């Protein structure tokens, strides 16, 4: 997946083939305890409006990095449109430094639509199957052989750095189900700047849920989150009241360094974190 600029700089000497991509703020977890893996995960994206000022390829997704170095990641993709293209997608690891994309057909969806990305391990095949639904209607499936999923997280990904301003958005009803309970999984949680969401378990760490993950708006041109907030100022002496809306920006801090949750959730556990080769639809 796209590396941070710092990481790209650090890797330049190693001549890693890397697309000049960028990542916005993320919710990341992983890796799981060594005696377990993620059997099943699901999350539902409420599609925001299309990015503004984008001339690039912007993807919103939740992904799972696996023991084979694959990345399972159904995608909501925007490319010079007011709508979104929805499809199932896996980056299959083909060597220590290369990955090959496999994907389903794509279906158009619109701001406000609910996109459910559901991943499930199938014991009979040893594959994971992606089930992608729009407003509860299954539209795509994809089965890939990936080993065992070791991390899970969200992403705001630009294939380059030209994706403009991506609106704030939410992922709801996230459920991560372990093979065997991992009570310490909470300690792997990483949240980028401005990201909120509480991960809880009611069964000792076998099932983890996050009712709502909120991802702030993000400006790819500045590399900063965008938070619109209202504040009202009332003056009792002049008996007038004014309301102002201010926009604040702060730098997102998603890290993809080896061993971090982001590394497992957004990079497929690859060392180094690879950039994608996905083409615009």
Ligand X SMILES: *[C@@H]1O[C@H](CO)[C@@H](O)[C@H](O)[C@H]1NC(C)=O
Angle CA(219)–CA(41)–CA(130) in degrees, nearest 5?
A: 85
- Residue ranges in 167-206 that form contacts with ligand X under rule CB under 6 A: none
Q: Which helix (H) or strand (E) holds 261?
A: helix 261-266
Shortest distance in whole angstroms from residue 37 CB to ligand X:
17
C-alpha 218/C-alpha 25 separation (Å) is 7
Q: Which is nearer to ligand X, 98 or 127 (CB)?
A: 127
Q: Which is nearer to ligand X, 35 or 125 (CB)?
A: 125
C-alpha 43/C-alpha 274 separation (Å) is 24
Q: What backbone phi and psi angles, to 5 degrees, belong to 264?
A: -80, -35
What mask, x for binding ligand X by CB under 6 A, covers residues 122 to 151? Answer: ---x-x---------------xxx------
Helix/strand/coil for 187: helix
Q: Which is nearer to ligand X, 99 or 144 (CB)?
A: 144
What mask, x for binding ligand X by CB under 6 A, covers residues 85 to 124? Answer: ----------------------------------------
Q: Which is nearer to ligand X, 32 or 142 (CB)?
A: 142
Number of residues that bind ligand X (CB under 6 A): 5
Q: Which is nearer to ligand X, 96 or 100 (CB)?
A: 100
Q: Which is nearer to ligand X, 43 or 144 (CB)?
A: 144
Q: Which is nearer to ligand X, 4 or 144 (CB)?
A: 144
Helices and strands counted in the chain (H then E): 2, 22
Assigned token pair, 159: 């294939």
Shortest distance in whole angstroms from residue 196 CB to ligand X:
35
The single residue listed with the structure tokens 């009202």 is 232
Shortest distance in whole angstroms from residue 141 CB to ligand X:
9
Q: Which is nearer to ligand X, 132 or 159 (CB)?
A: 132
Shortest distance in whole angstroms from residue 143 CB to ligand X:
3
| CB 144 within 8 Å of CB 72 | yes
> Which residues face 157 on adjacent strands?
23, 59
- Per-residue burial over 45-66, b if 16 or more Cβ lie within 10 Å, else e, is bebbebbeebebbbbbbbbbbb
Shortest distance in whole angstroms from residue 101 CB to ligand X:
12
Sheet holding 217-219, edge to edge: 165-166, 217-219, 224-235, 240-251
Shortest distance in whole angstroms from residue 102 CB to ligand X:
7
Distances (CA, A) of 143 to 127, 129, 268: 6, 4, 17
Cβ-proximal residues to 238 (8 Å cutoff; 6+ apart), any chain: none
The residue at minimum Cβ distance from ligand X is 143
Shortest distance in whole angstroms from residue 130 CB to ligand X:
11
Shortest distance in whole angstroms from residue 98 CB to ligand X:
15
Residues in contact with ligand X by CB under 6 A are: 125, 127, 143-145
């Amino acid at each position: 997946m796209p590396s941070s600029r710092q990481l790209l700089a650090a890797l330049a000497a190693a001549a890693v083939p890397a697309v000049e991509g960028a990542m916005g703020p993320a919710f990341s977890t992983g890796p799981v305890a060594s005696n377990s893996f993620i059997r099943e995960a699901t999350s539902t994206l409420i599609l925001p409006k299309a990015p503004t000022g984008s001339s690039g390829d912007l993807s919103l997704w939740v992904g799972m990095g696996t023991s084979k170095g694959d990345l399972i990641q159904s995608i909501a993709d925007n490319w010079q449109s007011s709508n979104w293209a929805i499809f199932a997608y896996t980056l299959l690891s083909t060597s220590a430094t290369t990955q090959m994309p496999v994907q389903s057909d794509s279906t158009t969806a619109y701001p406000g639509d609910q996109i459910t990305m559901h991943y499930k391990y199938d014991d009979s095949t040893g594959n994971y199957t992606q089930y992608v639904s729009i407003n509860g209607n299954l539209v795509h499936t994809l089965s890939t052989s990936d080993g065992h999923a070791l991390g899970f997280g969200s992403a705001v990904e630009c294939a380059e750095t030209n994706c403009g301003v991506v609106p704030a958005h939410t992922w709801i009803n996230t459920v991560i189900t372990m093979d065997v309970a991992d009570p310490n999984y909470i300690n792997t949680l990483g949240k980028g700047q401005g990201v909120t969401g509480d991960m809880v378990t009611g069964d000792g760490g076998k099932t983890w849920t996050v009712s709502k993950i909120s991802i702030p708006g993000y400006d790819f041109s500045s590399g900063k989150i965008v938070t619109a907030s209202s504040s009202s100022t009332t003056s009792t002496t002049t008996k007038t009241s004014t309301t102002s809306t201010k926009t604040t920006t702060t730098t997102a801090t998603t890290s993809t360094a080896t061993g971090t949750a982001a590394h497992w959730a957004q990079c497929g556990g690859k060392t180094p974190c690879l950039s994608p080769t996905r083409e615009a639809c």
